[in-house]
Amino acid sequence: MTRISYDSRLDPQMREALAQQQAMAPDLGTAHTRSVVDIREVYERERAYWNEGGPAMASSLDITLDGPIGVLPIRIYEPVDYGVNATLMFMHGGGWMVGSTASHDRIARTLADHCKCKTVSVDYRLAPEFKFPVQFEECLAVLHALKAGEIDNCPGQRLLLAGDSAGANLALGIALWCRDRHPGLISALALFYGTFGLSDSGSRRLYGNGQDGMSRADLTYYRRSYLRSEADMDDPRYNMLDADLSDMPPAYIMAAELDPVKDDSLTLAAQYSELGISHELSVYDGMLHGFLHMSRICDKASHALQAGAKFLCRQGLR
């Protein structure tokens, strides 16, 4: 199988960020060959570097809820200029296997700062110890708590959803579930380089290697660690692209040019277009999957987060 060489096509800042990442964590891009404990330790340590700096919050509070299978941690951000009567619920990426509120702290702070609303980041349980649909059900439990007014000072009648990668999958799945049960509750979505159900595509065949941890072996490893069986690949809580997406909330859909899951975003945007649903598609040239973390170096990461927040404010808060 032919894989596209990235070297000549990488954005210069992406190349610089990738070099920095590989210097700190040279084995980060070989997930399928290492233990889960090792993957998580390296991931959290490397992400700590990228989380330095960024917007300050008026407050950042870690609390727990009673989740469907036990204590469920969340982090609540209040931006300095808080004043919007809505709550943004953020779901982190990491292939459902790694990641946390800590690893995605700067991304969540940046969205909270640009949206000027309370932001709740969900620290859902990870695969393979906890299989699908545990992650979905825990995120749904947070949404229910918000809707019921059980999370102090977080407005629950107008909700925005955002997520990156696996978190974008969870965000879109939650929105699809809510469409039929609580229409109008979700005002808008921001979906950053998500995976939405494709198992094969042109981008999967062209992109992904040991540099970015998105090789075909890695993607298969993440999926098999998350899902209980192949039958789950048809579940609309995982595979939204085979579901009826009519009457879904407006969505900002972002993709990275050199990302094996790029076609998931392009397909979702095409379906939104066919259905006449308001959306905005942005494809960032020269960027790899995961670049949102790298706003210390990559201007496009800051731009993408700001663009997503502007869409949420324009579509979801009017």
Q: Roughly what angle, to the nearest 10 degrees, separates helices 105-115 and 36-51? A: 40
Active site residues: 165, 259, 289
Q: What's residue 29's pLDDT?
A: 60
CA angle (124, 126, 129) in 5-degree steps: 135
Q: What's residue 210's pLDDT?
A: 72
Q: What's residue 105's pLDDT?
A: 98
List average pLDDT for each run of 10 residues in the chain, which is 318 residues long: 71 95 76 82 94 97 97 98 92 97 98 96 98 98 96 91 98 97 96 97 91 87 96 98 98 97 98 98 97 98 98 84
Q: What's residue 35's pLDDT?
A: 87
Q: What's residue 25's pLDDT?
A: 79
Which SS3 state, helix, strand or coil, does residue 262 take? helix
Write out the E strands in 24-115: 57-67, 70-79, 87-91
